Structure 1
Amino acid sequence: MKLKTFRAANMSEAMQIIKDEVGPDAVIMSSRQVRKKKGPLSLFSKKEYEVRVGFEEEEIPKRMQPEMVANSVPVRYPSRPAVPDHQETSSGNNEAVVRGMDEMKKMIEQLSEQVSRPEMAPQKRFPGKISALYQRMVKNGVEAGLANEICIETETIADSRNADPDEVIVNLLKDLLGNPHPIEPTKYRRKTIMLAGPTGVGKTTTLIKLAYMLVYREKLNIGIVNADSFRVAAKEHIKAYCEILKTDMITIYKPEELKDALDAFADKDMVLIDTAGKVSDDKQYLMDLAKLINIGKVDDIYITLSAATSERVLRTAIKNYSFLKNYSIIVTKTDEAPDRGVFLYLAKISGRPLSYLTTGQNVPDDIKLMDSSEIAESILEK
């Protein structure tokens, strides 16, 4: 298999270039965002996508010949080294060919990075109306590759069913976001809810907002288990709000203590469990979560993730929590997020429903159930 690296302004453009130059059978080995190498240390250069692909090919496609590439640098293909006739052997021939092919591959890879390609606008491949929808999504923070994927599906459905692209795309966005999974009591049986999430995402504050909602709106008798024995003043933080709510709290210091805490809350309608906010790739932390879930026979799990976090960090967190077979997502700090595209990104990479959104620090007001129609409209607004 041969490897080759491409760079482009966005993933859609990169995919088109790869398809044109390598073919549809290329396999993406890796992709990342990098900065163009311009200026000292590239501090103020624009970002672009670097995609490395693998492919099987017998010969260099004609489209990659230097005379076919605009603005290319001349390529000198390595020639076989001159060897006196009496020293030339089949073994020597093979070695020379192998060296020549290796050098050729390196030069072609360098050429692909050096060639200055004209800017391509993926949205221009769509009809006018869908092109406008593409531009709105990208402007509102939807990753270009995902926006392109959604527009392709929109075009296909609109053409085959003679449907309005605006209506089609709204429904596609709503389907991707999923239906929220609200916290609901179970009649005649206590329900146990657990919140987990990386450090610094506002998990404990979110739990307190949910507790207010359950006590004052739903009129439920709730208990709170504090399993966060790592964070300084976590116990005092929750205890202060529990006094206002007139509800009980028990702090545990290891997962095995959860059983006794739940026995003490046998008369409650619902128990909320607050876990430690730690880095999501901490193996001991993940093992402790699994113990809490098993010991507490947890009914619903909510992972809290910040909308103001980078896509790379979000993807890592989702990967680390993948051992949980069934969970919903609470998106925190949405007031700090620069755009709405993060909601689609989270729904896409997790495959899990977005259930609640927190919109500020005010307790208990700044939390609401996710509205897929509202988010879809905000992503498509002009």
Structure 2
Amino acid sequence: MKVKKYTASSMPEAMKLVRGELGSDAVILNSRVVQTGGFMGFFKKNSIEVIAAIDPDTEVSPKPAGIDKNDKYIHPAMNGNESKKDSPTVRLKPIVETPRKADSDLLKEISQLKELLKGSAKTEGVSLPEPVSRQIQYLGDQEIDQVIIDELAAVLLEKWYLGGAAASDEEITEWIAAAFEQRLSPLSFGGVTFTKKFVNVIGPTGVGKTTTLAKVAADCVLKHQKKVAFITTDTYRIAAIEQLKTYAKILDVPIEVCYNMDDFKAATDKFSEYDLVFIDTAGRNFRNQKYVNDLKSVIDFGKDMETYLVLALTSKQKDMEEIRKQFSLIHIDQFIFTKLDETAIYGSMINMAIKFSTGIAYLTNGQDVPDDLIEANPEKIANSILGVSTYE
């Protein structure tokens, strides 16, 4: 299949270019309005970008510009004011083609590709180039949402047929990484911003909130020389309080235990001179709205606060989604994904980020404090999914 991209000032002009090079049997795969020209970002004009294709086996030479609609050759000496009868003409024999099975198969394939490029078709049942198909299968194994896979397949096919038909697996992986990074780029990534005083971590039981909180606090103390303090509202587990007290002792920072809103307000007043106050919360079954309301009865979320929702990559995505929805009344700044080292399936990171338009602050890949903490960005998320880096 021969595929080319054309840019023109209008659709008729674009069609003229397509017919002039590919002939009248060319099929339009995709068209869109693009901005071209301009100076220093100003005075840009709209143009039409068209992607067209034709099967090389059935390609027919385009008609010369001098053939009129009656298949007569117009002598070059003629101009628009002269009569056609005064000039010699040659009648051209019409070309009659017999449809072949290969043609119908090709048209079906082009139609499928066109729908993919429009983002309105699914990859199931579509004949993909084998190297692209391999990568799509891998993304499915990573449990990437099908909608994201379909969008990505359109990107890969466009690149493949616009000159990358001999691309290696490594090059296709680079295309995928770039597409992931572009898709995630509007979201907020990276760790503590140091623009707000309180840093709060919430999430279900067993995801490693307390250890993660200690890692982030240690990073702020050791790398950024910040004066920090701890508040814990996890009064349901004595072990959790003792664990955070141990971390506080190692980092030489104060800690307060809060049982209600009055305790919380007293603790925040006590730590008014500190750069950052890290708040640990109880891990509960947050699929039950009651426990979300309990959190709000102890913590003043109206404070100058960054809130991170901690989720384990070993969890089911449906459970993650349900937990996120339960926290809909609490502003979540970013996700933190833990247990990167305990699974080989990372698709839920990009699924959750895109589904909830929420960036990612950190990834954790072990129990060591403060070492097993990775500040997230789109490149690291893409690399994790594609197996480019394991962060060991």
TM-score, normalised to structure 2's length? 0.60
Code of the aligned partner of 2:189: P
Q: What's the offset of the Cα at 1:277?
A: 0.7
Select which of 152, 155, 171 maps to 2:157: 155
The SS at the match of 1:355 is: strand
Give the aligned partner of residue 176 of structure 2.
Answer: 169
Code of the aligned partner of 1:257: D
Could you tell me how far apart the structure 2 residues matched to 1:224 and 1:161 are? 56
Tell me whether 1:180 sits opposite 2:189 in the alignment: yes
Select which of 331, 336, 342 maps to 1:330: 336
Q: What's the offset of the Cα at 1:378?
A: 4.1
Q: 2:261–2:300: 8 Å Cα contact kept in structure 1?
A: no
Give the aligned partner of residue 345 of structure 1.
Answer: 351
Q: Structure 1: 5+ residue runs without aligned partners?
A: 1-119
The SS at the match of 1:256 is: helix
Could you tell me how far apart the structure 2 residues matched to 1:131 and 1:153 are? 13
Could you tell me how far apart the structure 1 residues matched to 2:297 and 2:182 are? 33
The SS at the match of 1:195 is: strand
Q: What's the offset of the Cα at 1:344?
A: 1.9
Give the aligned partner of residue 57 of structure 2.
Answer: none
The count of residues paired between Structure 1 and Structure 2 equals 260
Q: What's the offset of the Cα at 1:144?
A: 4.5
Q: What's the offset of the Cα at 1:301?
A: 0.4
Could you tell me how far apart the structure 2 residues matched to 1:313 and 1:246 are? 37
Could you tell me how far apart the structure 1 residues matched to 2:346 and 2:301 are? 37
Tell me whether 1:279 sits opposite 2:285 in the alignment: yes
Could you tell me how far apart the structure 2 residues matched to 1:235 and 1:326 are? 24
Code of the aligned partner of 1:320: Q
Could you tell me how far apart the structure 2 residues matched to 1:132 and 1:197 are? 36
Could you tell me how far apart the structure 1 residues matched to 2:261 and 2:276 are? 19
Cα 1:349–1:231 shift into 2, 3 Å: farther
Identity of aligned residues (%): 29
Give the aligned partner of residue 307 of structure 1.
Answer: 313
Q: What is the RMSD of the two structures over their aligned residues, measured on CA atoms?
A: 2.9
Moved more, 302-311 or 158-167: 158-167
Structure of greater relative contact order (alpha carbons < 8 Å, 6+ residues apart):
1
Q: 1:137–1:147: 8 Å Cα contact kept in structure 2?
A: yes
Code of the aligned partner of 1:285: Y
Q: 1:230–1:276: 8 Å Cα contact kept in structure 2?
A: yes
Q: 1:176–1:344: 8 Å Cα contact kept in structure 2?
A: no
Code of the aligned partner of 2:325: K
Cα 1:123–1:308 shift into 2, 3 Å: farther
Code of the aligned partner of 2:153: C
1:49-70, Cα deviation, whole Å (9 max, x unpaired): xxxxxxxxxxxxxxxxxxxxxx
Give the aligned partner of residue 217 of structure 2.
Answer: 211
The structure with the largest helix share of the pair is 1
Select which of 136, 146, 154 maps to 2:138: 136
TM-score, normalised to structure 1's length? 0.61
The SS at the match of 1:268 is: coil
Q: Structure 2: 5+ residue runs without aligned partners?
A: 1-121, 166-170
Give the aligned partner of residue 262 of structure 1.
Answer: 268
Could you tell me how far apart the structure 2 residues matched to 1:135 and 1:229 are? 46
1:317-368, Cα deviation, whole Å (9 max, x unpaired): 1211222234200001111122222222222332211110010111111111
Select which of 224, 227, 232 maps to 1:226: 232
Moved more, 143-152 or 357-366: 143-152
1:179-210, Cα deviation, whole Å (9 max, x unpaired): 41410324xxx611111001111101111111
Tell me whether 1:235 sits opposite 2:241 in the alignment: yes
Give the aligned partner of residue 11 of structure 1.
Answer: none
